[in-house]
Structures are given as structure tokens and as C-alpha cells.
Amino acid sequence: MTDDFFARLPKAELHLHIEGTLEPEMMVALAARNRVSIPFRSVEQVRAAYRFTDLQSFLDIYYAGADVLRTEDDFHDLALAYFDRAAADGVVHAEIFFDPQTHIHRGIPMQVVIEGLFAAIDTARERHGMTVELILSYLRHLDEEDAFATLKAAEPWLDRIIGVGLDSSEVGHPPAKFARVFAASRERGLKLCAHAGEEGPPAYIHEALDVLRVDRIDHGNRALEDPALVARLAREAMTLTVCPLSNVALRNVARIEDHPIDRMLDRGLRATVHSDDPAYFGGYIAENFRAVAQARGLSREQVVTLARNSFLSAFLSDEALAGHL
């Protein structure tokens, strides 16, 4: 399989944080445009800081980087640059996370964030024929009351938001902490996702299923430690949106050669491959496919299954799904 094969293979991106597509070049440019000071003098210095030891060491830099995003144009430019890259990577449909609390807590109104993203989404449709949905992700290191305030602040745009997610520091912030706001989100017709089992234990995946009643699990790698959980996930055809280069960068997997993606498929799990925070982890979705396929010696059939799973796992209408399969 050539590099071109991975880039041409049509796929849906289901696990991507738009703030995680902020390339060092854009970080430096937006810092200058908005006169924001960042602790780096050059693009090289920014890149040199991207050596992570765990999730938190990444999140500290990721939240600091997001501080350069100030205006509707900034969110538009960030997202459009991502959609252009994604189109070149064979992405025909994307369901992207955004973290409103990261911005609201810095005094950037929800409207600035969402209108900037919507404008870019409209251009992506015209320019690439790409369909894009937004997933509002709650920050789990904050309390549930803050998540409720975020849901309320998003009220005017909820008819154009497909779902909610749960991200940020996992250990010590179990899914059950957000039981009520997930129930309220479901009542508003939103789909539900949660990061679980990235660093947290298998018990967090059980909670995401039983307490939050999620439609998709983001990451889910640690399910492999619990055979009964694996059997359940397989039986329920529950998607795990897996991010190989992220797993290596955050040291959840020692080397890409050790990645469990094929073990997941062999155990009947509906795994998909995505890019998480590609500007920080060294590659967009086609590179995640290529790297893990090459390192694990995946067959063409396995790679096609991963791409097909991305459409089966997307929040698409039956009609739109049929058009992609």
C-alpha cells in the first residue's frame, strides 16, 4: 500500500480536537496578529516543546497554545486550514470536537468560537464537498456545574451541534461526575461521546457506557485489560475511536510497533483510526493510518475495514451513510 493509497482512501474523521490542529506556524502568526505573548520565540522552539511524558504534560501546552485564538477570524482560519489538510487526506466527513470552556474562561464568548467554526464549515462544504459536524466537548477537570453553564451558553446553536463529548485530564475525573449534564444533553437530542480508557482504567469505560450511555468511546485502549468488557463492546458494536500517533506521543503505547489496533479488530471490536491533536502528535489521519498499518503489517482488508468502520460509526443519516459505503 502506497502513501497515496492511505490519502485517497475515503474516510470519516471522528476524533479530532480542532484546537489540536494549531500548527506552530499558525500559533506564532496568531500571537503576532493578536499581540499575545507566548513563551516561544520561534516555530522551532514551539516544536521543541512537544515532548510529552503523559496526557497532562500535553494538555498544559495545548491549553497555553490555545491562548492565541481570540477572534472569529482566528477560529475560522484554524478550522479552514484543517479542512484543507483533511480533504487532501481523503476525509469526506468530519465530526470535530471543540472545547468552548477553554475559550470562555479566557473571556472569549461562545459566539466568537462557534460562528468562526461555522463559517469555515460552510467553506469546506463549498470547496471540498466535505460535510462537517461539531461536537461540544466538556472539560472533565472542571465541575459539572460549569459543563451545564456551557450547554446553556450553546443553546442558540444547539440545532447545528451534533453531540457532546468529554475530554481533558482523565484520571481522577470519572465519567459519572458528568451523569446529569450528559442526561440533559441527551434530552436535547445530542449524541454522546466520552474519552475513556485513554489513561483511565477500564472501570471508566464501564461508567461511560452504563452511566453516561454514550454512543461512542474515544480511545478506549485500556478496555483490552478487561476481557468481559471487550466481549461487551464487541457484542454492542460500540465504536472505539483510536488515535495511534497520539497513543505513542502520550506514552500510552511504548512504540507504534506495539500498537494494539489489530488486536482490537481480531477481538471483534469496532475500532476506527483518527488523529486526535495532529499538530502536536506528528500526523493527520492518513499518516495515522499509514504509520500503524506499516508498523503492524496490516492487510489491505484490515485498513479498508478501519475506514469503513469510520462511516458506520459516524452520526450520519441512513441515506448519507449509504452514499459513503
Catalytic residue among 95, 198, 199, 287: 198
Q: 3-state DSSP call for residue 97?
A: strand
99 binds Zn ion (CB under 5 A): no
Stretch of 135-143, 274-282, 298-306, 307-315 lying at the interface with Zn ion (CB under 5 A):
274-282
**Contacted entry of ligand ADE, Zn ion, none for residue 168, CB cut-off 5 to 8 Å set by kind:** ligand ADE
Which residue number has the CB closest to Zn ion?
A: 276
198 is catalytic: yes
Q: From CA 15, how far away is CA 193, in angstroms rounded?
A: 10
- Sign of CA pseudo-dihedral 225, 230, 232, 233: positive
Residue 42: Cβ-neighbour burial (10 angstroms; 0-12, 13-18, 19+): exposed
247 binds ligand ADE (CB under 6 A): no
Q: From CA 209, how far away is CA 196, in angstroms rounded?
A: 10
- Choose, by CB under 6 A, the member of 21, 246, 272, 309 that binds ligand ADE: 246
How near is the Cβ of 276 to ligand ADE at its closest, in Å? 5
**Cell numbers at 322, concatenated:** 449509504
**Contacted entry of ligand ADE, Zn ion, none for residue 20, CB cut-off 5 to 8 Å set by kind:** ligand ADE
17 binds ligand ADE (CB under 6 A): yes
Closer CB to Zn ion, 23 or 276, in the complex:
276
Stretch of 81-89, 148-156, 269-277, 288-296 lying at the interface with Zn ion (CB under 5 A):
269-277
- Rounded to 10 degrees, the C-alpha dihedral 93/62/286/122 comes to 30
Closer CB to Zn ion, 67 or 276, in the complex:
276
CB 40, CB 46: distance < 8 Å: yes
Residues in the chain: 325
207 binds ligand ADE (CB under 6 A): no
Total interface residues for Zn ion by CB under 5 A: 1
Closer CB to ligand ADE, 7 or 292, in the complex:
292
The set of long-range contacts for 36-39, using a CB threshold of 8 Å and a minimum separation of 24, is 36/67, 36/68, 36/70, 38/64, 38/65, 38/67, 38/68, 39/64
Task: Return the residue matching grid coordinates 503505547.
Answer: 253
- Choose, by CB under 6 A, the member of 195, 206, 216, 324 that binds ligand ADE: 195
How near is the Cβ of 321 to ligand ADE at its closest, in Å? 27
- Choose, by CB under 5 A, the member of 19, 95, 207, 276 that binds Zn ion: 276
103 binds ligand ADE (CB under 6 A): no
Closer CB to ligand ADE, 67 or 277, in the complex:
277
CA distances, 153 to each of 30, 33, 43, 128 (Å): 26, 28, 35, 31
13 binds ligand ADE (CB under 6 A): no
Sheet containing 216-219: order of strands? 11-13, 91-98, 131-139, 163-167, 191-196, 216-219, 239-242, 270-273
Closer CB to ligand ADE, 20 or 100, in the complex:
20
- Is 195 annotated as belonging to a binding site? yes
Q: From CA 200, how far away is CA 23, in angstroms rounded?
A: 28
Residues of the binding site for substrate: 277
- Please state the residue numbers annotated as binding site for Zn(2+): 15, 17, 195, 276
Which residues in this chain contact Zn ion in the complex, by CB under 5 A? 276
Provide the binding-site residues for ligand ADE, judged by CB under 6 A: 17, 20, 55, 62, 167-168, 195, 198, 246, 276-277
Residues tagged active-site:
198
